[in-house]
Structure 1
Amino acid sequence: MHINMKIVTKYIVVLVMVVGLVSCQKNSRPNYQYMPNMYESVGYETYQESDVFANGVEAQLPAEGTIPRGDFMPFEIENTNEGYLYAKENLKSPLDSTQVDYAIGGPLYNIYCGICHGNKGNGKGKLVDREKILGVPSYDDAGRAITTGSIYHVLYYGKNTMGSYANQLNEQERWQVVAYVEKLKADLEK
């Protein structure tokens, strides 16, 4: 008898819940909407006055002298063959010997460059070993007179099948990777 009472109680609770849900629905008027702005968003005109802004101005201006997109700095050398040659001959690293940190440049190189160029810069990365890409040169190839400027230019814009890393690495990180590539090149030439 005790078991039957539990079953009857469960049926009664379920029946009350179903009746409660059905009775709340009235087809002659709309149901309640929770967070209605998610369903029927308020239309705003571009540059209209708003209470959001302290002085009611259409839009806020950025602080004078700031550069948008985090620490993005525009690169003045063009993405052309002439720009590459100019960078190769003239662009120098802003880092002095005390600012070069291989503990920063090395891991970044391994993440972004080592997959193709190899962790030693010998052109034998995992993708080359697996023959997914071919023709990745070693940093010590006689025909490749790479310089500080050419490395930075290629990191910024990419070259041939190599894509740009301007969005993945900020300016400081790019220069650290350049310093690490120069170290690998020197190690390979020994």
Structure 2
Amino acid sequence: MKTLYKIVALAGVSALTTSCFHKEKPNFQLFPNMYESVAYETYSESSAFNNGKEGQLPAKGSIPRGFDPYEYENTPEGLALAKANLKSPLDSLTDSDHAEAKQLFTIYCAICHGDKGDGKGNLVKREKFLGVPNYAERELTEGGVFHVITYGLNSMGSHKNQLTQHERWLVTDYVLKLKSEL
């Protein structure tokens, strides 16, 4: 008799669990938003922002964290002002700073300017670029070199996206060191 009750109970439980099953849509969803998420139209208006149309704008006059503003414009007048007025914020460089400056110069500058700053890098030797100046023939100031590294000049491109401001000052110091050795 007990086995009969067990068989009937097992048949009843299996009938209950399978009778409500539907392949297309489960009968019970624990977190329904995970199965059927709310769809948003790309670039549509949203009530999440104050004005309802665009994202939050930064406060006027704010500067992104880690950004140091550079006051000189990318014009010939800005270059002249930088040559005359801009001075390096680096006081004294350690041996590791000199090694880092040399490494940065080798990576970013030596391919055109040469390892000694003589204007005879690999690209110049292969005649890919012509007219790369020799540092000994130029009047270089730290402000002018920094400005040219930041914005570029003639066929030299800008390096402000590849080098941080501190790294650009290290390369500037190394360029002036190379000029004094020529």
TM-score, normalising length: structure 1: 0.66
Identity of aligned residues (%): 52
Partner of 2:41: 43
Partner of 1:88: 83
Task: Note the C-alpha offset of 1:61.
Answer: 6.9
Alignment-mate amino acid for residue 74 of structure 2: N
Conserved? CA contact 1:72–1:170, under 8 Å: no
Partner of 1:168: 162
What is the aligned residue count? 145
Unpaired runs of 5+ residues, structure 2, are 1-22, 24-34
Instruction: Tell me which structure has the larger Cα radius of gyration.
Output: 2
How large is the Cα RMSD of the aligned pairs?
3.0
Alignment of 1:45-124 (within 5 A): 45-49=44-48, 67-68=63-64, 71-98=66-93, 101-124=97-120
Conserved? CA contact 1:122–1:137, under 8 Å: yes
Relative to structure 1, the CA distance from residue 47 to residue 94 in structure 2 (aligned partners, 3 Å threshold; closer, same or farther) is: farther
Unpaired runs of 5+ residues, structure 1, are 1-23, 25-34, 51-57
Relative to structure 1, the CA distance from residue 36 to residue 120 in structure 2 (aligned partners, 3 Å threshold; closer, same or farther) is: farther
Partner of 1:158: 152
Moved more, 175-184 or 100-109: 100-109
What is the CA–CA distance in structure 2 between the aligned matches of 1:96 and 1:157, rounded to whole Å? 24
What is the CA–CA distance in structure 1 between the aligned matches of 2:104 and 2:82, rounded to whole Å? 22
What is the CA–CA distance in structure 1 between the aligned matches of 2:108 and 2:58, rounded to whole Å? 33
Relative to structure 1, the CA distance from residue 42 to residue 104 in structure 2 (aligned partners, 3 Å threshold; closer, same or farther) is: same
- SS in structure 2 at match of 1:140: helix
- SS in structure 1 at match of 2:67: coil
What is the CA–CA distance in structure 2 between the aligned matches of 1:41 and 1:87, rounded to whole Å? 53
- SS in structure 1 at match of 2:136: coil
Alignment-mate amino acid for residue 73 of structure 1: D
Deviation string, structure 1 residues 59-105 (Cα, Å, up to 9, x no partner): 6676998633x633221011111111111111100000146811111
Aligned counterpart in structure 2 of residue 129 of structure 1, from 108, 125, 130:
125
TM-score, normalising length: structure 2: 0.68
Deviation string, structure 1 residues 119-167 (Cα, Å, up to 9, x no partner): 11110000000000100011001xx101100000000110011010011
1:181 maps onto 2:171 in alignment = no
- SS in structure 2 at match of 1:180: helix
